[in-house]
A and B are shown apart, each in its own frame.
Chain A
Amino acid sequence: MVTTSHYLILGSALFGIGVLGFLMKRNVIVLLMCVELMINGAGVSFVALCRQTGSLEGQVFVLFAMVIAAVEIAVGLSLILLIFRNRATLDVDKLEVLKW
């Protein structure tokens, strides 16, 4: 029997992997993928809790989140493209001009 807890564990795991990946990886594209993982982890938890309580609001949220994530990817990837064109690198640690 798959219970809500399982879904929540899965969601948390996805989110945690996303966070850890975001902190540890240096490639910008991978960072973007990690952000997607976090969003989807949160989405899984939303849907699972939604099913448990029998309401629909959570699912609506998830749909919105997916749309916005798609948009974000579009914007993010085009930014990454421009960064690569200008700096010839995708290593975040080297993209550190914005500081005091």
Chain B
Amino acid sequence: MVKDSCIAGCIWLIPALPLLGAAFNCLLGRRVGNLLVGIIGCGSIGLSAVLSLFIFNTFLALPVEQRRIEVNLYNWIPSGDFSAPLTLLLDPLSMVMAAMVSGVSFLIHVYSTGYMRKDESFARYFFYLNLFVFFMLLLVLAGNFLVLYIGWEGVGLCSYLLISFWYERESAARAGLKAFVVTRFGDFFFLLGIFLIFVNFGTIHFGSVFEKAPEVLSTTTATWIALLIFAGAIGKSAQVPLHTWLPDAMEAPTPVSALIHAATMVTAGVYLVARCYTIFELSPIATHTVGIVGLATAFISATVALVHNDIKRILAYSTVSQLGHMFLGLGVGAPGAAIFHLLTHAFAKALLFLGAGAVIHALHEEMDIKRMGALKQYIPATFWTFTIGALAMSGIPGFAGFFSKDAILHATFVHGGVLVWLMILLTASFTGFYTFRIVFLAFFGEKRWDVHVERPIGVMTVPLAALAFLAIAGGYMGVPHALGGMDKIGGFLAPVFSSHNPAEPAEGGAQAPEILLMVMSAIAAFGGIGTAYYFYMTPQGKEAPNRLRQRVAPIYELLSNAWYFDRVYQAVFVEPFMKAAGFFWEAVDSSVIDNAVRGVANSFLGGGSIVPKLQIGAVRWYALFMVLGITVMLGYVFLLM
């Protein structure tokens, strides 16, 4: 019990420390100099990370049934039947998320001090970044829907601010706006979902909602709530059809892409669906939708990543694709595997983005992989860590991504059917291809650039090494039973997804297929990497990409235009909206409303210019008017009587 209360007393500090850091950097950052800003920025997150790891450690020592700690910080909105306390909830799910978020954020903060050291808005950058971490931690530690929603919108805001960080660039400003509007579109449905929950349950408290969900909700209501919540997740986690903002979000500084658009914020949707899994379970339609959307996203964006040349865009589409994997995992009834993949993906993708940042940094803002090459000799540390990230991302056995992807693949095979599994297998080989396409084009081959290489400094390589370690070791918290492991993470998370037991230990002979599936997925990944090797590393394969492009020209067109999502949205939503807005601006606002307002003002102005003329300064005229006025008034009174 001592441990219990000790944890309960400390939880609030995890989000509070980044908030303090943000406040400091916001108010004093410009005055105290970059060194102190960096120390405060990293230090506040670092303390928060240490604290959450410490709490994690204490948490593990608790018996399973006590691993659910709620702290009521403040009764925020008590209003009639509705009450919205500021509740923090610590259970296995939020624990791993908080630990991952604070840990990865800390590494990325440290990296940022190196990456952004020459930027003149250093303090502003760290203010946004710290604020983001605060909102993200609030999101994962929330104990009811409203607190979660605050975090949800807060991270959206910070994402907007950081995408548009270099706001003098028009493309950055536009990308920020796009990200904000598109995610807000999803958030709107999420908010409706929260309303629907309140209407049905009379509370928004996680514990009571999920406990009562099976009795209170009919299948139809559950479907509605789940779909509305999922719509929010689609927006935030960049799933088809709302995924178009994420590739554009690469206008942000690269560490931001690593933190927000790979490791943390975009995974909030996965976290949300996992958190509400009890509701999703009640509705087969909703679960299927999640799975189908996830599958479509995973496949579509993986294909798009095949043909792009911008290193960050490839990684962005890869992120979208991997998020699709996670939703597929949720859809096929394996929330534990989805969260596991979320963690390993966070490590690997943060690593890849930071590595890409180091490459871009080295070549002075060059992002086109066609203009890289031979960087292996120049920035070896980046090369090795990037390759580890790529291996983990592709799902090569022994690296983190392998175990988590395998868990999802297995659940897909069991619950989703062979066809879905084959599609995901194909996607896995695509993943291997596009990640190693970057590796081969950027680090090997001939040198296709001509600048002075700027080597990453120590504060940039150390986080890379740490993430590389995590990208290898992270997988060993979930070694499946089939390989003689314990699937620790699955077991740890299982109580959250109460009624569900994902990735049941395959019994006896059933182990064989799981191992077979693993072998198949490893073969797929190696196949993708091998193709990339053939295309970009061997002399005889050099012409192959061009030949292939000519042979399947329509498909290439489709892919390089990202399946025309942006074009269609431009034509269907943006342009009509702009036209309507133009109409309302010119025809309604400028002519009708403005003229009405101006008319009122002018009438007063006109009246006002007449009345003062009566003041002529002649006393006797005033007296005459008085007499006349009194006469008229008296006459009126007498006439009335």
1/0 per residue, CB under 8 A from B, across A85-97: the answer is 0000000110111
Contacts of A26 in B (CB 8 A): 620
Task: Looking at the assembled complex, report how far the CB atom of B617 sits from the nearest CB atom of chain A, in whole angstroms.
Answer: 3
**CB of B516 within 8 Å of the partner chain:** no
Asked if B616 is at the interface (CB within 8 A of a chain A CB), the reply is yes
Near B by CB (< 8 A), chain A positions 60-100 give 92-93, 95-100
Decide if B624 is an interface residue (CB 8 Å cutoff).
yes
Contact with A along B602-622 (1 / 0, CB 8 A): 000000000011011111100
A93 to B623, CA, bound (A): 13
Distance in angstroms from B579 CB to nearest chain A CB is: 51
Contact between A93 and B616, CB atoms less than 8 A apart: no
Cβ of A99 and Cβ of B616 under 8 Å apart? yes
Does B414 sit at the interface, judged by CB under 8 A? Answer: no
Instruction: With both chains docked as a complex, state the minimum distance between the C-beta of B309 and any C-beta of chain A, in angstroms.
Output: 74
Contact B615 A92 (CB under 8 A): no
Q: How far is the CB of B151 from chain A (nearest CB, A)?
A: 62
- Chain B interface, >50% SS class: helix
Known pairs A19-B627, A23-B627; A92 contacts B620 (CB<8 A): yes
Query: A22 at the A/B interface (Cβ < 8 Å)?
Result: yes
Contacts of A31 in B (CB 8 A): 619
A26 to B627, CA, bound (A): 17
Q: Cβ of A99: which chain B residues have Cβ within 8 Å of it?
A: 615-618
Say which residue of A22, A23, A96 sits within 8 Å of B617 (CB atoms): A96
From residue 585 to 636 of chain B, which have CB atoms closer than 8 A to chain A?
612-613, 615-620, 623-624, 627
A100: which B residues are within 8 A, CB to CB?
612-613, 615-616
A96 touches B623 (CB 8 A): no
Residue from B612, B613, B615, B624 in contact with A23 in the complex, judged by beta carbons closer than 8 Å: B624
* CA gap between A96 and B618 in the complex, in Å: 5
Measured CB to CB, the closest approach of chain B to A4, in angstroms, equals 20
Whether A95 lies near B624 (C-beta < 8 A) is: no
* Cβ contacts A20-58/B at 8 Å (1 or 0 each): 001100100001000000000000000000000000000
Chain B residues positioned under 8 Å from A92 (CB to CB):
618-620
Does A98 lie within 8 Å of B617, measured CB to CB? Answer: yes
Q: How large is the interface on A (under 10, 10 to 19, 20 to 34, 35 or more residues)?
A: 10 to 19
CB distance from B583 to the nearest CB of A (A): 45
Q: How far does the alpha carbon of A39 sit from the alpha carbon of B548 in the complex, in Å?
A: 113
Minimal Cβ-Cβ distance residue in B for A26: B620
**Contact call A22/B620, Cβ cutoff below 8 A:** yes
Bound-complex Cα distance A99 to B619 (A): 10
* Contact for A22 among B613, B618, B623, CB less than 8 A: B623
Give which listed residue, A19, A22, A23, A96, contacts B616 with CB less than 8 A: A96
Contacts of B612 in A (CB 8 A): 100
With a cutoff of 8 Å between Cβ atoms, the chain A residues found around residue B623 in the complex are 22-23
CA–CA, A92 to B622, complex, Å? 12
B530-550 contacts to A, CB under 8 A, are none
A-chain residues with CB within 8 Å of residue B615 when the two chains form the complex:
98-100
Which A residue sits closest to B609, measured CB to CB? Answer: A100
How long is the Cα–Cα vector from A68 to B612 in the complex, in angstroms?
A: 33
Chain B residues closer than 8 Å to A93, beta-carbon distance? 618, 620
Q: Which of B615, B616, B617, B624 has the most CB of A within 10 A?
A: B617
Least CB distance from A1 to B in Å reads 28
Contacts of B613 in A (CB 8 A): 100
How far is A97 from B612 in the complex, measured between Cα atoms in Å?
14
A-B contacts besides A98-B617, A100-B615, 7 pairs, CB < 8 Å: A23-B620, A23-B623, A26-B620, A92-B620, A95-B619, A96-B619, A100-B612
15 A–B contacts, CB within 8 A, in A order:
A19-B627, A23-B623, A92-B619, A92-B620, A93-B618, A93-B620, A96-B616, A96-B619, A97-B617, A98-B617, A99-B617, A99-B618, A100-B612, A100-B613, A100-B615
Interface residues of A (CB under 8 A from B): 19, 22-23, 26, 31, 92-93, 95-100
Q: Ordered nearest first, which 5 A-B pairs have the shortest CB separation?
A: A99-B617, A96-B617, A100-B612, A100-B615, A92-B619
